[in-house]
Amino acid sequence: MSVGFKAVHWNREKLIYDAILFAGVVLFITAFVGISYWIEPPKDLPAAIDVRIRAFGTCAFVMLTVILSIGPLARLNPWFRTILYNRRHFGVLTFAVALLHAWFMIEWYDAQGTLPNLLVELTTWSDYGKFIGFPFKVLGAIALLLLFLLAATSHDFWLAFLSPPIWKWLHMSLYAAYGLVVMHVALGIMQYDRNPLIPLLLATCFSTVAALHFVAGWRERSTDRARGSDGWIAVGAPGAIPDQGAVVVSASGGERIAVFRDGTEIGALSNVCAHQNGPIGEGRIVDGCVTCPWHGWQYRLSNGCAPPPFNEKLATYPVRVRNGIVEVSPHALPPGTPASIQASVG
């Protein structure tokens, strides 16, 4: 949080997460190479490098698919929030795997002494006007560049330096990178390798990501439409708010408000975390503090202030109980203003 920057804020959960992630990548690549060698042992060095290119390329594509699926999955089912946490390490590892894929491709040309052919491929300008025959490696190179930018700026230093809105926009380019990778495969290996698994994997992964985003977005439309007028917004009975959890409502301006309950204390905070605009309302109260599900940033329910020595503050909203129903004002108070109340939970 705000006390100072460290390269990585390691904790037990992150170590376990990274260990599982790394083991998964090693297992995938080992299995891919093993099965490929078993089906058709490579005849020479370029053929052996080709297997590595495919293994690392497929692994990076599957990892990108998983990364883009985690967000909507976490909105559809709270269980997936455990994977959401520390997603940035997943992204950095994906860049490393994609970089190795590109490195083996250069090695493949080098092993045959045809490295200049790569340059010819990329600078045959007439091919850029074609659809089938388009220099697909360029699409992969642009995607790799985007992944590098995202990995290099994933640290909190860059978040603070660029400001959260710009950082968020930059990191939305992951979607463009994914689109480029899909077309890199579709116009590349899918054109000259007739293995039906290639289009099948490509279409399945792409459809899964698209469908998950569509379903999650569709379900959230109801939250945004259920806006109050200028008056207070009804949340429900105190008991309807999960203990140490939240109900998210939408203010008249469309910004979301997370109404938390901690025993008999009820308070409302902005649903946007001060760190990376994470969805506070999908988090829980841990050690007496509202905890963001993305990276564990914490705030006091009573006033939206991070506990010492941190100094981040969230906007709070007035809450009241009328006729047994918790209501929240759509008008935000200045960040750090005490606004929680005590209510009996029937």
Partner 1 sequence: MKRSHRRVHRLFWPVLALLVGTGLALALIMRAPPPAPPTVVEGQR
Select 4 or 254, whichever has its Cβ closest to partner 1: 254
Sequence-distant (6+) residues with CB within 8 A of 259 are 235, 241, 246, 247, 248, 249, 266, 267, 268, 281, 319, 326, 328
Listed residue (309, 253, 317) closest to 280, CA to CA: 317
In what side-by-side order are the strands of the sheet with 284-286?
Answer: 284-286, 289-291, 298-300
Cα–Cα distance for residue pair 30/36, rounded to 1 Å: 10
Residues that bind partner 1 (CB under 8 A): 131-132, 165, 168, 172, 175-176, 179, 182-183, 186-187, 190-191, 194, 199, 202-203, 206, 210, 213-214, 217, 220, 224, 253-256, 272, 277-279
Select 116 or 254, whichever has its Cβ closest to partner 1: 254
Select 49 or 249, whichever has its Cβ closest to partner 1: 249
Select 153 or 208, whichever has its Cβ closest to partner 1: 208
Select 25 or 198, whichever has its Cβ closest to partner 1: 198
Q: Give min distance, CB of 179 to partner 1, in A.
A: 4
Q: Give min distance, CB of 172 to partner 1, in A.
A: 7
Select 21 or 181, whichever has its Cβ closest to partner 1: 181
Q: Give min distance, CB of 178 to partner 1, in A.
A: 8
Q: Give min distance, CB of 317 to partner 1, in A.
A: 15
Select 199 or 228, whichever has its Cβ closest to partner 1: 199
At which residue do the structure tokens 């269980």 appear? 79
Select 291 or 340, whichever has its Cβ closest to partner 1: 291
Cα–Cα distance for residue pair 262/139, rounded to 1 Å: 50
Q: Give min distance, CB of 107 to partner 1, in A.
A: 27
Q: Give min distance, CB of 7 to partner 1, in A.
A: 27
Q: Give min distance, CB of 342 to partner 1, in A.
A: 31
Q: Give min distance, CB of 131 to partner 1, in A.
A: 7
Select 149 or 183, whichever has its Cβ closest to partner 1: 183
Cα–Cα distance for residue pair 74/212, rounded to 1 Å: 10
Q: Give min distance, CB of 254 to partner 1, in A.
A: 4
Q: Would you tell me how many other CB atoms lie within 10 Å of the CB of residue 132?
A: 8
Sequence-distant (6+) residues with CB within 8 A of 204 are none
